[in-house]
Each structure stands twice: as C-alpha cells, then as structure tokens.
Amino acid sequence: MTETITTKVLVVGGGPGGYVAAIRCGQLGLETTLVEGDRLGGTCLIRGCIPSKALIHVADKFHGMAQTVGKGHHGISIAAAPKLNLAETVKWKETVVDKLNGGVTALLKRAKVRVVEGWGVFSDAKTCNVKTKGGDVTIRAEYVILATGSEATPLPHIPFGDKVISSTEALSLPDVPKKLVVIGAGYIGLELGIAFRKFGSEVVVVEAQDRILPLYDKDLTKPVAQSVEKLGLMVMLGAKAKGFKGGKLAVEDKDGKTVEIPADYVLVTVGRRPRTEGWGRENMTLDMAGKFVKVDDGCRTAMKNVFAIGDLVGEPMLEHKAAAQGELVAEIIAGHKRRFDPACIPAVCFTDPEIVTAGLSQEEAAAKGIEVTVSMFPYAANGRALAMDAGEGFVRVVARKDDKRIVGIQAVGQHIAELSGEFSTAIEMAATLEDMAGIIHAHPTLSEAFFEASLRGLGHAIHI
C-alpha cells in the first residue's frame, strides 16, 4: 500500500542547497519534507569537496615528511621514508564525512524536517513518487524546491567503469596506484593529480587546451605550473585522449602523433553536468537555459511555486552558491522579499598553491566598460609567507579608477583559501581601497598582503 504525505514544502535533493533550504524552511515554521536518494550532504560533503580536502591534507603531510628523509628539510630529518596505508587514510576520511553527515541529519531533525530516504520521480509538478526501502511513498506539496545537483561528465569513447574512474572512485581507492593518468587539467583533475603524486603515484595529466587551469589567467596559474613541474607530474597539453584498452590510454599529442600511456587507473575530470534526468523533469513543464533549468532572480522556474537551485540552474557549480540560493528560496516561500544578486561568488582551487578568485578580473571589468586600476602585492614580501616557506604567490586587487571601489580580487599562494571570506566581504560591502588601507591587519599574517595590495593601489605601499 502506498503511503501519502501532504506537505507545505517539498525539497528534492539533500545536498548543500537542498538541506539548507529545508532547514531554513523549518526555522521559518513551514512544514517541510526532504527527499534524498543517497546520504544527506550531497556530492560536496559525501564524495567531493570535503573528502577531497581530507585526502589533500594527508597528502601534504606525507609529502612534507618525505622531504625530511636523509639530509632533512628545515632542520628536520628522519632516517627512513614514511609509509602510507591508503586504506587507513580512506577510513579516516570516512569518519570526517560521517561526522558531517550526522550533523546534517541532526540539524534537519531539530528544524522538524521530515526526511524520506529514496529516489523521487515527479508525476506532475507538485506530486513526487518515492521508492523507499519500506515501500512506495507519494508526496504532494504546495511548493517544490528542486536541488538535484550534478554528476561527473563522462567521455563517450572512454566510459566510466572498472579502471576508468571519476573523482568519486578516486577518493576511495584501496591502494596508491603506481601509474595514474588524469584526463583534464581543471581544478578537480589537478587537485587530485597533485595529491596522488605526493602519495607517490606516477601521474600524467592530459589536457586538450594549451595550458593547465584554462579558466584562470596565466599569472594565477604560473605558480601552480611551477609546483606541478617541481613535483614531477607529466603534463601533456594540446592532447586528446582517444581510448583506453589493455591498461594503456591512447593519446593524440599536440603534434598529431598517437602515444600509449600505461595506467593502473584513468581518472576522468572533464567537468560536471546538471542532473536533469531521472527524476521526472519532463512531467513538470520547466523551461531550460541550455543544459540548465531556467530560473529568475528568485530561483523561480516557469512552473508556479516550483523553484530550482544550485548546480541544476547554472554556473558557478559551487556548494556555497547552492546554499545561499537554498536559504533565499525558503525565505521567499515564507513571504520575504529576496532576490539572488550577489556582488561576487568566490571560487577556490585547492591546488598547490591554492587559487582564489572573487568578483571581476581586469578583463571582465573592461568587458563591462569599467575602467580600473590593478595593484598586486607578492608573497615574497610578506613575512608570514616567508616564515612558512611559501614565497610563491600574490594578492591582486582590481578597483574602479573613479571611486577606488574594489570590484575584484585574485590571489594565489599557500593557505590563500582562508582569505576568501575577507575578499568577498570587501566586495559585497562595496569597500574602497581607502577602506582596506584604513583597516589594521594583524602581523604577521597573510592578510597583510591584501592590505598592502590596497595601499599599492593608492600609490603608497609600505613593504615593496
């Protein structure tokens, strides 16, 4: 017998967009039901951002220890090379994921959100049929929030399976592969490629474009390219993967020659695509914007009282964008006046070193007809960076020429991700170069690089 649930709000997808939307709905007193076919937390928490950063953390520690063998490094030396048990590392990584998954579960319970575990398929815009372990459940709602997320994009001629893996499988390998080939030199491919190289894998990265991280400008990627070379990753630029057979990946290099690269695993990281199929979108009369569900500045779809958020509605496909949209939609349903119009959505690339972008680049500002001044302060002149042996990097500030208002910040360097909040705050609060120059920054910290870059934009940097 089918159970029927009637609810004010139905959220489909328990990732960062969906669970935040559900929690906020509960806080606002809206009767809310959330449907999730996997574990609560979504791609980012379960098989993406969090587990990958846990793996990167261990890789950095292991690599740092390996550098101290023999003569040592910075006065530290160990007699024998460190040993890595990747299975134990993965087990520890899962404890981190489990803690966060449990936290999300508890938060939803506290907000009095009903969670239905199972795969949901819409028969019409307000009716969702869910296959659960206990039987079929039909949910009827007044409002619907679609938060179905995204999935790894496969290569048609090199499909996922067996030794061809996505980032999901890469984060749960039982052993360090001797030979790993990564297809795609974007942020996912390089983050994981660098981590496995630090673990000891022979890593080859195949990229169709003429440089790594093609979505970032060359100044930002130069320190990463230098690090990649120093670590010993082999990077094939202007190359195309043709097929994988018999433990070898066929690659057409930039000169048109086909070479075969031995690989224990081939990690495909050519991007992600919105999950628009498999949950009944065709029964909901939704308009599309290319491969994404089309929404307005309130995340409303073409169907009344149906909202869509996160990766489903467009770039950037980032956790914090989805979460912000989830909160916004909950408040709109509760009667608040809200619209999604952020001054910036920061992005972080957790390579070695890290990259942060927030707001407009110089080129993007020019395309909008904004005349700007650009000022940069190098890590090499920052005491904290030098004390951490992190001399490669910089903070760059883009400000309007007329009123000195900061419209963009780009930075590269070790631990620079931790400044992304300050960068975003400055842009969202419409801070000027004078504002930042007037804020006393603690010494010695990396944040002083932002302070000095702002001073330099005014023509009077102190330490350069």
Looking up tokens 């120093």 gives 230
Sign of CA dihedral 227, 55, 68, 444: positive
Dist CA 364 CA 407 (whole Å): 10
Q: Where do the DSSP E strands lie in 147-253?
A: 150-152, 164-165, 179-183, 202-207, 234-237, 240-245, 248-252
In terms of DSSP H, where are the helices of 380-432? Answer: 383-387, 420-428
Which residue in 178, 182, 190 sits closest to 86, CA to CA? 178
Say if residues 63 and 198 touch (Cβ distance below 8 Å). yes
The residues near 285 (Cβ < 8 Å, ≥ 6 apart) are 125, 302, 303
Dist CA 170 CA 168 (whole Å): 6
Say if residues 385 and 414 touch (Cβ distance below 8 Å). yes
43 C-beta neighbours (distance < 10 Å), count: 25
Say if residues 200 and 232 touch (Cβ distance below 8 Å). no
Dist CA 83 CA 266 (whole Å): 24
Tokens of 71: 């003569």
The reply to whether 443 belongs to the active site is yes
The residues near 189 (Cβ < 8 Å, ≥ 6 apart) are 182, 183, 205, 207, 267, 269
List the catalytic residue out of 63, 320, 443, 463: 443
Dist CA 223 CA 380 (whole Å): 12
The catalytic residues are 443
